[in-house]
Structure 1
Amino acid sequence: MTRGHAIRPGRVLDVATGALLTDRAVVVEDDRIAGLVAAHEVPSDVAVRDLPGLTVLPGLVDCHAHLVGEEDNGHGYTELLTRTGAQEAMTGVRNARATLRAGFTSVRDVGTYRAFVDVALRDAIDAGWTPGPRMMVAGAYVSCRGGGGDISGLAPDAEEHVPAEFRVGIVDTVDDVRRAVRRILYGGADLIKLIGTGAVMSDNGNPGVPELTEDQIRAAVEEATLHGAHVAAHAHGAEGIKRAVRGGVRSIEHGSLMDDEGVALMAEHGTWLVADIYGGDYIAEIGRRDGWKAAVLRKNDETTLTQRAAFEKCVAAGVRIAYGTDSGIYPHGLNARQLAYHVRHGQTPLEAIRSATLHAATLMGWEGRIGRLEPGLYADLVAVAGNPLDDVRLLEDVRFVMKSGEVVRDDVPSS
């Protein structure tokens, strides 16, 4: 009887050092990595899966995912009221499977309009009921009334009929923020997601306009910290970004209209940037093809190029960058497409890969769980044909995926 198994590829990418190691095997026991050993030193009582010609690296991480719900259709969020919570949960099951098969073995899921469906999906995956990535979840958005995290665009006499689960995190005052943060964390969330400015995809609002005060943001951070959780802030506009950084958030999501002062503040405070710099091209192409709302397309056009310019400035300034794609804007499973955009806009292929492995784990506080191929960490790994340091787009076509020691995709012919 074997007591574990080993993966023996052509190369192993050490994301910490950047070294491509040959003649290595990853030994797995249960759900953890037991060791990285010379290929000829694999214990005799371990089953071996050879992956000749492939490069193995840690499982990928998307730090800005939305697994719950149908893909965005560019017509606002009032359509959410036409679907049940059960339907939303089942879309999450489908999306989680596609994400995992694409090589993303962990995600930071940063919000759902219908509160706590992401918590249920996380727990179902952890229980082994359905396949999917390891999830860190936000539970619900903390947003001002009528803002980017609220259901807007309804007739005034319909507002009172919106189910309460859509408005768990809707706030007006600082005290409201504290209550909402506690409610969301007590409901099972792992982090807090603030909507600090208007949104591109919402029915109304301006991405450049702040929607939470600095005092509200600071209150959310203080309350979350008491519970051992961090805060991510959706922030497109320059002033909203600076309020969030000064308020102590761990990450800025999007960062589309960041100015030079904001870049400097982020570098000074050690705030992470998670910027979905692929999504703008998808929205522009598919949105125009499929007739998305003109206001959505306009806001996307106004933020896509400025976001990429801000990303380049952050790379040059040494701002900490973690990988996040806003999955759900585009079909789930295409998460790796953004890696090439990281390279196009200033990162080396190694740094792009680190943003989705090593650095993503650090942002999430999961350094002791994921992000590297080291003993004691979860046995999460992917394999691609060729060398991703030469062409990071190889990660768009993973051939082998393992999560927690279980093979969930194997498209490599046995030798």
Structure 2
Amino acid sequence: MRACFPLLFLLLCGPAAAEQWISCGKLFDAKSAKLLGPHQILIREGRIAEMRSGQPMTTGNDQSLDLTDKTCLPGLIDMHVHLDHESNPNRYSEGFRLNQEDFAFRAVSYAERTLLAGFTSVRDLGGRITLSLRDSIDDGQLPGPRIIAAGKSIATTGGHADPINGVSRDMLHAFGYPGPEDGVIAGPIEARRAVRQRYKEGSDVIKITATGGVLSFAKSADNPQFMQDEIDAIVATARDYGYKVAAHAHGAEGMKRAVLAGVDSIEHGTYMNAEVMRLMKQRGTWYVPTLLAGDFVSEKSRQDGYYPDIVRPKAARVGAQIAKTFTQAYQAGVKIAFGTDAGVFPHGQNAREFELMVKAGMPADLALQSATRNAAELLGKWDELGSLEVGKQADLIAVSGDPLADITLLQRVEVVIKAGQRYK
């Protein structure tokens, strides 16, 4: 198998073949969440042009790919990543030492790792440099997943995603106080301005931090941080611009306000209660659980020096709770879309989320469906992504063996094709 790396990308991968046949031993049907028998897939100009069931045929095309010993699946979709950073013990000081260019060059590597892990599309929920990273990937300058980018998250003054939390008073004079243009608001008028600024900057989706956060330099991980009229203003303005809204939320009250305002998804959902689950089911709100992030921060909370002292107790509490909440939400019938919070843990390990979902009680077929059909539906791109069907983007991955019998096979993806281009 061949991986393609940024500096050698054009040399090793070259342009996508105009037409190629792929023969799959088995195929995961994301619509039914079932594993089907042998299929042949014709890719033409980056899209699926034809599909046939049954044993492979001789095509006479030297671009054909024989995967008859493997299981083919749609390219995976991670609905919650942060390609602008990656967890490390020095992260809290990096903003004072590194330039935006440093973070941008790192992000190139993070994007490639994500793609080679089988994730051909991601929703990046916070980080201005990912807007440019998205454009460079779309232009074919860099290898990486298709990115649906939020740009700067919208926070309240002092809330999770306020970039000057934990900064000394003397430093504040140098940094200045962030406002709506910087994604920090106080009141519904500023909330509208913040959404419009995201539109001006080219964001694809709006992300708000409806409650405190685990890794922010602040005491609470779960207190509500927007008043109802502020979230209402964000969602109403977002709808005017055709945006979906994702809400980071750990605490139940903040989740309730976000769901009542009409957000499209709740991210993390750590302390979700029965009332919130009922409201989410009534309103069709999606839940993006990020179990892997919870598992990672719980582990690192026990390591001296990895997180600041103000963060460690939050990380320990949330990490212990998030899997229990996932089990309850799944059993209650809340709609679930796959998301990991990659960046909180090392990029490229996204598929470990499947293992945790299955361990917490979700069957493997539904876990896979959450990263294909469900994720595409939440994106509003089911007509383009999320399944191997004629007319859709030719995003395909392959593994050896049956991923429904062993979900950890998704951590060892052997073939990656995005829009007809082979990357691995």
TM-score (norm 2): 0.91
Q: CA deviation at 1:41?
A: 4.6
One-letter amino acid of the structure 1 residue matched with residue 191 of structure 2: V
1:151-209 Cα shifts (integer Å, max 9, x gaps): 21111121132278896111011100000100011100001110111110011141121
Distance 2:356 2:37 in 1: 28
SS at match of 2:78: strand
Verify the 8 A CA contact 1:76 1:203 in the aligned structure 2.
no
SS at match of 1:262: helix
1:110 equivalent in alignment to 2:125:
yes
1:114-140 Cα shifts (integer Å, max 9, x gaps): xx3111000000001110000000010
Distance 1:376 1:40 in 2: 21
Q: CA deviation at 1:81?
A: 3.2
- Determine the structure 1 residue equivalent to 2:135: 123
Partner of residue 107 from structure 2, selected from 92, 100, 117? 92
Q: CA deviation at 1:30?
A: 1.3
Partner of residue 314 from structure 2, selected from 276, 283, 299? 299
Partner of residue 54 from structure 1, selected from 47, 70, 73? 70
Distance 1:378 1:206 in 2: 42
Distance 2:158 2:93 in 1: 12
- Determine the structure 1 residue equivalent to 2:267: 253
Verify the 8 A CA contact 1:4 1:27 in the aligned structure 2.
yes
Verify the 8 A CA contact 1:74 1:296 in the aligned structure 2.
no
One-letter amino acid of the structure 2 residue matched with residue 144 of structure 1: T
Distance 1:289 1:42 in 2: 57
- Determine the structure 1 residue equivalent to 2:204: 190
1:279-305 Cα shifts (integer Å, max 9, x gaps): 222223344336222332210221123
Distance 1:295 1:354 in 2: 37
- Determine the structure 2 residue equivalent to 1:210: 224
Q: What is the aligned residue count?
A: 404
- Determine the structure 2 residue equivalent to 1:18: 33
1:87-139 Cα shifts (integer Å, max 9, x gaps): 12111111000000000000000002xxx311100000000111000000001
- Unaligned 5+ segments in structure 2 are 1-16
- Determine the structure 1 residue equivalent to 2:282: 268
Distance 2:210 2:97 in 1: 27
Distance 1:305 1:408 in 2: 37
Q: CA deviation at 1:78?
A: 5.3
Distance 1:143 1:48 in 2: 49
- Determine the structure 1 residue equivalent to 2:146: 134
Distance 2:186 2:326 in 1: 32
Distance 1:73 1:155 in 2: 22
- Determine the structure 2 residue equivalent to 1:181: 195
- Determine the structure 2 residue equivalent to 1:226: 240
Which 10-residue stretch deviates more, 118-127 or 163-172? 163-172
Partner of residue 144 from structure 1, selected from 132, 156, 164? 156
Verify the 8 A CA contact 1:147 1:205 in the aligned structure 2.
no
CA RMSD of aligned residues (A): 1.8
For the structure 1 residues 257 and 118, does the alpha-carbon distance in structure 2 shift closer, same or farther, using more than 3 Å as the test?
Answer: same
TM-score (norm 1): 0.93
Which 10-residue stretch deviates more, 296-305 or 396-405? 296-305
One-letter amino acid of the structure 2 residue matched with residue 62 of structure 1: D
Q: CA deviation at 1:40?
A: 3.8
- Determine the structure 2 residue equivalent to 1:344: 359
Distance 1:23 1:381 in 2: 15
Verify the 8 A CA contact 1:258 1:307 in the aligned structure 2.
no
- Determine the structure 2 residue equivalent to 1:154: 167
For the structure 1 residues 42 and 62, does the alpha-carbon distance in structure 2 shift closer, same or farther, using more than 3 Å as the test?
Answer: farther
1:301-358 Cα shifts (integer Å, max 9, x gaps): 2112322222112111211100110000111000000101111122110110011111
Distance 1:41 1:164 in 2: 65
Q: CA deviation at 1:219?
A: 0.7
1:377-408 Cα shifts (integer Å, max 9, x gaps): 11101100100011111000000000010000
Verify the 8 A CA contact 2:126 2:150 in the aligned structure 1.
yes
For the structure 1 residues 156 and 164, does the alpha-carbon distance in structure 2 shift closer, same or farther, using more than 3 Å as the test?
Answer: closer
SS at match of 1:64: strand
List aligned pairs for 1:351-390, cutoff 5 A.
351-390=366-405
1:248-307 Cα shifts (integer Å, max 9, x gaps): 100001101111111111111110001111222222334433622233221022112322
One-letter amino acid of the structure 2 residue matched with residue 60 of structure 1: L
- Determine the structure 2 residue equivalent to 1:328: 343
- Determine the structure 2 residue equivalent to 1:412: none
Distance 1:295 1:73 in 2: 17
Verify the 8 A CA contact 1:170 1:180 in the aligned structure 2.
yes
Distance 1:357 1:21 in 2: 16
Distance 1:211 1:187 in 2: 24
SS at match of 1:366: coil
